[in-house]
Chain A
Amino acid sequence: MTAEPVITALGLLTPLAVGREAFAEAWRAGASATPIAEGPTAGGYAVPKFILRKAFPEGRALMRRMDRLSKMICMAGALARDDAPGLGDVQGMAMGVGTDLGTLEMTWAFLCRLRDKGPELANPNDFPNLVPNAGAGYLGILMGARGPSHTFCQHSTCADDAIAWAADGVLAGWFEAGLAGGAEELGPIRAKAMERAGCPITEGPAGEGGTMVLVESRTRAEGRGVTPLATWRGSWGASGLRKGSPLKREVDPDAVAELVKLAVAKSGAGDIGVALLSREDDPALVEGLRRGLGRDVPLTDHGARCGIHPADGALRAALASMLLSDESLPVNRGGEARSGPAALLLSAGRGGGLRVSVLSEA
């Protein structure tokens, strides 16, 4: 009986499927999300329509003020809550959310209105949604969670940072449980910005979604009769930018290899049997991983099947938990099985931020 952090519930709002069971079923079947057919986000992947008020019937008035990204975060939180029977009192629960771009679409609309109509006609209801922690705040209100709350925004490590923070908090006893994850939305402005920045949304391809995972102490989980999905063995961060512009997303394979070695050694998790990369098609990440592990391991193909976005570290943490709790679940469409009892998440963000997290069978 320790404060060892474990993952016990998953809330997945993804272009491939909504909810843990539906996602596992689609994943097992080798399915891919259907790309958006037309419009400014054509080629990207969007989440299906969802109705948040069904998840929080008492929160309808609040939802009228909410932006779409906040709704995605709240929906993912509700799905995680519903995946955690006997959750009990959540008042002290921590909330960690990752989002790189935040409410980019609404921010753009706010600025365009300022330009076109002047400041006197700015919408006061929109402004509070422009802060990246709006979603965490709304989810706290809807769930009645008053524990520590952080919102992380370091590009493609943002959701990894959020889950790592929650797990550290459980491990250190700062709180007993935390809902942590991340969300990002895909809209016309993100599409235009990516195009202008030289990385169109069809490369990757770009996606959206929200995923929250419940991290709690093994003691707490066992106390409510829950079998954990996975054990969180730890997360290690580093900066791996090659000297130069801070705006590049060029990854240094040496830094990746060094961090992977450190994480594997410190986690004590045993053989890494599957890796989940922020870009499975990034040769530098794959090379760094190979050098760090000293061998190849099966890689998931979530990016090609769900689309990628900066906060999808949470989706990968959830997928890793599913793979570790169900040996029959294939790692990828090729039908590969994981080759060991641990999973490694590797995320690299623009600017050089790296994070490696290790999970193992519960």
Chain B
Amino acid sequence: MTDVVITGYGAITPIGLGVEDFAAGLRGGACGVGTIDLFDASAYRSSLGGQIRGDIRTEAVRARCQAAGVPLQTRYGRTAVFSQAALGEALQMAGLHADDLGDGETGLAFGGCTAGTFESEGTLLGLEEGQDYWDIVPPMELLITPVGTTADVLLTVTGVRGPVTTISTACSSATNAIGLGMRWIQAGRASRVIVGGADGLCRLTHCGFNALRLVSDDTPRPFDARRNGMVIGEGAAVLVLEDAERARARGATVQGRLLGFGNGAEAHHATQPRPDGSGAAAAMQGALDDAGLDPGRIDYINAHGTATPQNDVTEARGAHLVFGDRATGLPMSSTKSQTGHTLGASGAIEVAAVLLGMKHGFLPPTVSWAEQDPEIDIDPVPNEARAASLGVALSNSFAFGGNDASLCVAHPDVEVGR
């Protein structure tokens, strides 16, 4: 089996523009949740969001993108800007330039849900009396709305000539895109794949989750007994996956190893998880089986951990199905407590969090945690990052449609797996 390694990664999140800022935010217990001012959210059940504020094209972001040959085009909307910024950082870390990617051996597999929805809905919702949307909407706004557009933009700015696709499986989109990239390399469809996910805040998703009463009007409290819902966030993360031999041959520094991928359908309900946690368990077990690892090798789980009453308890049950009694003391935190739930981007952002924990020797915390839920018998790494040598981890993402996915990631120096 081809060994797949991660040679670069970049992240744009509500608690840090770039992975080292993100790491500082994670370690410092930062919380990027606040009142949304991207649009008027005052009439919603919750007006909170994990919003990225201001122009993200800071000097540091521009410098990274310039070094990697990524132009940071703004005309395709916020989501595309986040994606390009994360891509620039990932390429720079991998020691690559956009011009290196046109070899036909490099592919692109990206995840997301919203693409240019924020820009499109702005025109619709801002119509004045007597105006017809179809008379005034710029064609550009229509064209940037389909979710595949983010990948289109990344293709254009990189010149990638290999296979390209977009996966949209709601909150597990990026995790599945990363898993697909791994599969492409294993199947010989590409030897390097740019993977990740991006989603921007928009009224559509904010309204939808509000209507479903899945949002909190307070900071999200994953795994806490008083948790009452999620807060929607936004962001992007991009990873460079490579065939280990190819990475080694070009002298790339390996940031992490991608050992396994599990994905399955719950076949249960459109929005609710199986109460016994068996769907979550199947994804985690699938990632372990794919990696050829015993559950005892896992040091940490970056949980889906949305802070909804149902998700967190079923995810914990799933962990107990896989890890048995060991789940009680197994660190399993939710970085969504810090970033908000970045939906189709979350899987990639959370793998970045795992890699940063491995690099800097810490476990990201679950902030705003105060009260143990008797039904959630895990170690949520409450409130403060914990110093730890992190060797092998799982990163979970569970989605509408009952789509569960989990990735198994290892520190580059840990010898495990097939």
Contacts and interface: CB of A to CB of B under 8 A. Distances in A.
B388 interface: no
A237 B189 contact: yes
Nearest to B212: A124
B24 interface: no
Find the residue from B125, B156, B159, B270 having the highest chain A CB count within 10 A. B270
Interface string A68-101: 0000000000000000000000000001000011
Contacts of A153: 146-148, 166-168
B376 interface: no
Given A133-B401, A196-B137, A118 B164 contact: no
B414 to A, nearest CB: 24
A23 interface: no
A41 to B, nearest CB: 14
Interface string B117-138: 0000100110100000010010
A160 B292 CA distance: 31
Contacts of B44: 119
A150 B169 contact: yes
Given A150-B169, A154-B164, A172-B183, A140 B402 contact: yes
A100 B207 contact: no
Interface in A264-305: none
Nearest to A189: B134
Interface stretch (B258-266, B299-307, B310-318, B350-358): B258-266
B232 to A, nearest CB: 12
B400 interface: yes
Interface string B144-161: 101111011101100111
Given A197-B142, A238-B161, A352-B152, A149 B263 contact: yes
A318 B134 CA distance: 36
A123 B212 CA distance: 8
A146 B44 CA distance: 35
B383 interface: no
B147 A174 contact: no
A335 interface: no
A349 interface: yes
A150 B189 contact: no
Contacts of B121: 111
B19 interface: no
Interface in A109-125: 110-112, 114-115, 118-120, 122-124
Interface in A232-268: 236-241, 243-247, 255
B113 A131 contact: yes
Contacts of A101: 146
A102 interface: yes
Contact of B270 (A128, A151, A198): A128
A236 B265 contact: no
A240 B155 CA distance: 10
Contacts of A236: 163, 189
B399 A133 contact: yes
A128 B187 CA distance: 33
Contact of B207 (A119, A151, A238): A119
Report the contact-size class of chain B (Cβ under 8 Å from the partner): 35 or more
A220 interface: no
Contact of A148 (B153, B189, B263): B263
Contacts of B107: 237
A271 to B, nearest CB: 24
Contact of A118 (B43, B162, B279): B43
A107 B127 CA distance: 17
Contact of A351 (B155, B167, B168, B210): B155
Interface string A162-195: 0001001101101000000000000000001101
B368 interface: no
A237 B164 CA distance: 7
A312 interface: no
A115 B124 contact: yes
Given A133-B399, A150-B176, A114 B148 contact: no
A147 B146 contact: no
Interface in B88-134: 104, 107-108, 113, 121, 124-125, 127, 134
A298 to B, nearest CB: 27
Given A114-B125, A124-B212, A133-B170, A246 B149 contact: yes
B386 interface: no
B400 A122 contact: no
Contacts of A50: none
B197 to A, nearest CB: 12
B263 A130 contact: no
Contact of A150 (B76, B148, B167): B167
A203 to B, nearest CB: 15
A248 to B, nearest CB: 9
Contacts of B279: 146
A100 B400 contact: no
A127 to B, nearest CB: 3
Given A150-B263, A152-B166, A247-B143, A141 B204 contact: no
A144 B144 contact: no
Given A127-B212, A134-B270, A237-B107, A353 B399 contact: no
Contacts of A246: 76, 149, 152-153, 155-156
5 tightest A-B CB contacts, nearest first:
A137-B401, A237-B163, A351-B152, A127-B208, A246-B152
12 contacts: A119-B207, A122-B208, A127-B207, A130-B204, A131-B170, A137-B265, A237-B164, A239-B161, A246-B149, A247-B140, A351-B164, A352-B164
Given A136-B169, A197-B142, 16 more contacts: A102-B147, A111-B121, A122-B208, A122-B211, A131-B113, A133-B169, A140-B401, A146-B266, A146-B267, A149-B403, A150-B176, A153-B166, A165-B180, A196-B142, A239-B164, A353-B152
Interface of A: 65, 95, 100-102, 107, 110-112, 114-115, 118-120, 122-124, 127-134, 136-138, 140-141, 143-155, 157-158, 161, 165, 168-169, 171-172, 174, 192-193, 195-198, 236-241, 243-247, 255, 349-353, 355
